[in-house]
Amino acid sequence: MTDYLNNVDALAAHVPDGALMALPPEYSFVPMELVRAIIRRGVKNLNILTVPINGLAADMLIGAGCVKRVECAAVSLGEAGSAPRFSKAVENGTIDIVDSTCPAVHSALQATEKGVPFMPLGGIIGSDILANRDDWKVVDDPLGQGNGKIVLIPAISPDIAIIHSPLADRDGNVWIGRRRELATIAHASKIVLVTVEHIQDESLLANEKTAAGVLPGFYVTALTEAQMGAKPLGLVEHYPADTDEIATYARAARDDDAFAAYMQRVVFGTQEAAE
Amino acid sequence: MSETTDYCDEEFLIAAISGLLSTDDVRHVAVGAASPIPGAAALLARKMRGGMPRVSLIHGKATNPFTDGGREIFDAAGQGRIDVFFLGGVQIDGEANINLVGTGDYPKVDKRFPGSFGSAHMYFVVPKVILFRPEHSRRVFVPKVDFISAPGVSDPDVRRPGGPKYLVTELCIMAFDASRRRFRLESVTPGRTIEEVQDNTGFEFDVPENVAETSLPTPEQLALLRSTVGVEVADTYPGFAKDVLGVAA
């Protein structure tokens, strides 16, 4: 059964030091309020997997010293530019970087979804991504059908997945709409922590229109309400991204002192101020 | 709004790219995040060709057809359902290797960029990849990239139905010949010279005897960009449509 918790800090208590935590992409229901709670908790040595890319959440976690290793296809603030804390940490060698490519991240999670040890994936051969991946393996087409060499991507099973959503019901069902990568992440993860804008009494499965976009409750470990929980990122059909706030972050994060002051205000100040 | 014979650099690049999307083999163009110029070029080509090609903007809403999660665009491309995709590069070399990761020795690079995104897959499977990098300098166009996010060519024992076909910059359009592992100068931006292209390119490329000038945007193209196509652009790239095309969302 899904645990219904009182607030994001209770949810953040589920994230242990050293966990492998999957983060959804910027446009896909990122639970920023929960990310701020994880930072407040002072979690250490996180192993971040961006699915397949991320921006603000990864950059804040890295800058706050919560992260030991990042596996990513990219970390970027999008139109606000590079992710300054990520770039600096890689340049200074203060985090371990494992470069991937978008479909390899998806494939690794799909392997776990299917309960198989690896997935084959086209392309990649001849890249320096592959040259730096001891865990990936190039084999000749094992079925001998003349397709040449192919890369095998081992399954990845994140310890923790974190998701924000507009809506849940009382049975742990969470509406994700067409953001199906959230389903893939959740299917592949051991613990799934969810924040939602609103919890409704009627089952999301009682209506075929909402049922088609549901992540079923049996994947969801714990859940809490967090209104405006994706801010300053957007939530489709609820609120747009706060591009001014993201730009403010991008500027602050270029400088150690300005970043510390920003985090003090937004993460460690009163929770409501984070809105 | 200015006279339709005046145009800005972005409108020139949009028209130039649009010209590469005008052939019958271009049925479905997909455009990644934060790529307003290629996105606008695809929408312009669609209007000019009366509805072809299909244009999928992954950050759009109604313009984004994907409903099966982040993996769908890569799966569709892997099957050959996407004909054109755009990639860039912090560095690009003469064999069309692209670097989206960083400069200096990997992994503790001197300057880190976001990462390779889906390039290491898309570059292999999309038949017509257009490299788009407005800045034409020796900083970008290097003899050898520091990190290969995706290679320009592959050995025969690697399945590769796709790859780079064109490179579009502020100075020129080059075509890529995979069998020769070389770029060939295709056309030069009006007012710029072949020598200027050579001076600003850190790798060797072929220069045919006759090199055309890249076509200027036509009055019809400019009119469309500043009206109906601009409105479509604004749906996904509102800031760009407002600032560059003068079209409000």
Residues of B in contact with A241 (CB under 8 A): none
Is B54 buried (19+), middle (13-18) or exposed (0-12) by CB count in 10 A?
middle
Any CB–CB contact under 8 A between B33 and chain A? Answer: yes
Is B178 buried (19+), middle (13-18) or exposed (0-12) by CB count in 10 A?
middle
Q: In chain A, which among 114-133 make CB contacts under 8 A with chain B? A: 121-132
Of A27, A76, A127, the CB nearest to B120: A127
CB B131 within 8 A of CB A130: no
Q: In chain A, which among 8-67 make CB contacts under 8 A with chain B? A: 25, 27-28, 51-53
Interface test with A, best of B82, B148, B159, B237 (most A CBs within 10 A): B159
Q: Determine the residue of chain A that is closest to B103 in CA distance.
A: A91
Q: In chain B, which among 68-97 make CB contacts under 8 A with chain A? A: 68-72, 74-75, 78
Q: For the beta carbon of residue B246, count every other beta carbon within 10 angstroms.
A: 14
Report, as an integer, the average pLDDT of A221-250: 96
* Confidence at residue A271, expressed as pLDDT on a 0 to 100 scale: 46
Whole-structure pTM over 0.90, yes or no?
yes
Q: Name the more confident of A26 and A264.
A: A264
| Token pair 């038949």 in the structure block, residue | B127
Of A72, A88, A122, the CB nearest to B78: A122
The C-alpha atoms of residue A199 and residue A224 are separated, in whole angstroms, by: 9
Count of CB pairs separated by less than 8 Å, A with B: 155
Any CB–CB contact under 8 A between B150 and chain A? Answer: yes
| Contact criterion met (CB < 8 Å) for A25 and B71 | no
Mean pLDDT (chain B) is: 95
Domains of chain B: 9-244 (3.40.1080.10)
Residues of B in contact with A71 (CB under 8 A): none
* Confidence at residue A275, expressed as pLDDT on a 0 to 100 scale: 44
C-alpha dist (Å) from residue B71 to A80, A103, B122, B152, B159? 24, 6, 12, 23, 20
Q: In chain B, which among 171-230 make CB contacts under 8 A with chain A? A: none
Q: State percent of chain A over pLDDT 70.
A: 98
Residues of A in contact with B113 (CB under 8 A): 82, 87
Any CB–CB contact under 8 A between A156 and chain B? Answer: no
Q: Mean pLDDT of residues grouped by 10 in chain B (249 residues)?
A: 73 98 96 89 96 89 90 97 97 98 97 98 98 98 98 96 98 98 98 98 97 97 96 88 90
Q: How much is the ipTM here?
A: 0.95
Structure tokens at B40: 């606008």
Beta strands per DSSP E along chain A: 3-4, 20-23, 46-50, 53-54, 67-72, 74-75, 96-99, 118-121, 137-140, 149-154, 160-168, 174-175, 191-199, 214-215, 222-225
pLDDT digits (tens, 9 = 90+) for B136-176: 999 999 999 999 999 999 999 999 999 999 999 999 999 99
Rg of chain B (C-alpha set): 18
Structure tokens at B28: 């479905």
Strands A46-50 and A3-4: unpaired
Q: In chain A, which among 225-264 make CB contacts under 8 A with chain B? A: 236
pLDDT digits (tens, 9 = 90+) for A56-95: 999 999 999 999 999 999 999 988 999 999 999 999 999 9
pLDDT digits (tens, 9 = 90+) for A115-162: 999 999 999 999 999 999 999 999 999 898 878 899 999 999 999 999
A163 pairs with which residues across the strands? Answer: A194
| Contact criterion met (CB < 8 Å) for A124 and B114 | no
A270 — pLDDT class (breaks 50, 70, 90): low
The C-alpha atoms of residue B115 and residue B96 are separated, in whole angstroms, by: 17
For chain A, the distance separating the N- and C-terminal CA atoms, rounded to the nearest angstrom, is 31
Residues of B in contact with A91 (CB under 8 A): 102, 108-112
Q: What is the DSSP string of B34-47?
A: T-HHHHHHHHHHHH
Structure tokens at A118: 């690896």
Is A264 buried (19+), middle (13-18) or exposed (0-12) by CB count in 10 A?
exposed
